[in-house]
């Protein structure tokens, strides 16, 4: 997270104060950290109670895959993306994306970031 958060902060500084961040992650800790850092009014995500089983052993079940597909669709519509360079989910979102800007925010070789993160920066005009 130490590499990812500064990138999100930098992106938000370039955008309108009403800009929001949609976080799609298979790490509940990553989502919680981003919400506590930037606030629940700026960070949108799948309801954690809805996706709770998807963070554990059930992540390949139909409901979890449906949630992932919905998140991929939403991220593909974002104006810009901040992705992990080592996540296969990031690779898929990049291929689907209409984003004007795609940047990397963490890399497994950069140090302590070990959870695959993918985040879409969405404007206030988008409807998550």
> How confident is the model over 20-71, as pLDDT tens digits?
888 888 778 888 999 999 999 999 998 877 777 777 667 778 888 888 889 8
Tokens representing residue 43 in the block: 């960070």
Asked if residue 30 is part of any domain, the answer here is: yes
**Tens digits of per-residue pLDDT, 15-33?**
888 888 888 887 788 889 9
Say how many domains are in the chain.
1
Asked if residue 15 is part of any domain, the answer here is: yes
Asked if residue 11 is part of any domain, the answer here is: yes
Closest CA to 74 of 127, 27, 115: 127
Beta pairing partners, 84: 106
**Tens digits of per-residue pLDDT, 72-116?**
898 888 888 888 777 788 888 888 887 777 777 665 444 444 443
Asked if residue 128 is part of any domain, the answer here is: no
Asked if residue 22 is part of any domain, the answer here is: yes
The C-alpha atoms of residue 103 and residue 81 are separated, in whole angstroms, by 6
The pLDDT of residue 122 is above 60: no
pLDDT for the residue 106:
60
pLDDT for the residue 111:
46
The C-alpha atoms of residue 78 and residue 75 are separated, in whole angstroms, by 5
pLDDT for the residue 35:
94
pLDDT for the residue 89:
82
Domain span including residue 23:
4-122
pLDDT for the residue 127:
44
pLDDT for the residue 121:
46
> Please, which residues have CB within 8 angstroms of residue 88's CB and are 6 or more apart in sequence?
none
Asked if residue 127 is part of any domain, the answer here is: no
pTM: 0.70
Asked if residue 26 is part of any domain, the answer here is: yes
The pLDDT of residue 13 is above 50: yes
């Amino acid at each position: 997270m130490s590499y990812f958060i500064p990138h999100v902060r930098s992106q938000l500084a370039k955008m309108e104060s009403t800009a929001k961040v949609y976080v799609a992650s298979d790490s509940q800790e990553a989502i919680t950290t981003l919400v506590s850092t930037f606030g629940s009014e700026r960070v949108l995500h799948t309801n954690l109670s809805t996706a709770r089983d998807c963070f554990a052993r059930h992540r390949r079940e139909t409901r979890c895959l449906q949630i992932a597909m919905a998140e991929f669709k939403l991220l593909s519509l974002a104006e810009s993306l901040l992705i992990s360079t080592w996540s296969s989910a990031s690779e898929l979102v990049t291929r689907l994306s209409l984003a004007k800007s795609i940047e990397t925010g963490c890399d497994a070789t950069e140090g302590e970031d070990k959870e695959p993160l993918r985040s879409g920066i969405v404007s206030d005009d988008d409807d998550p």
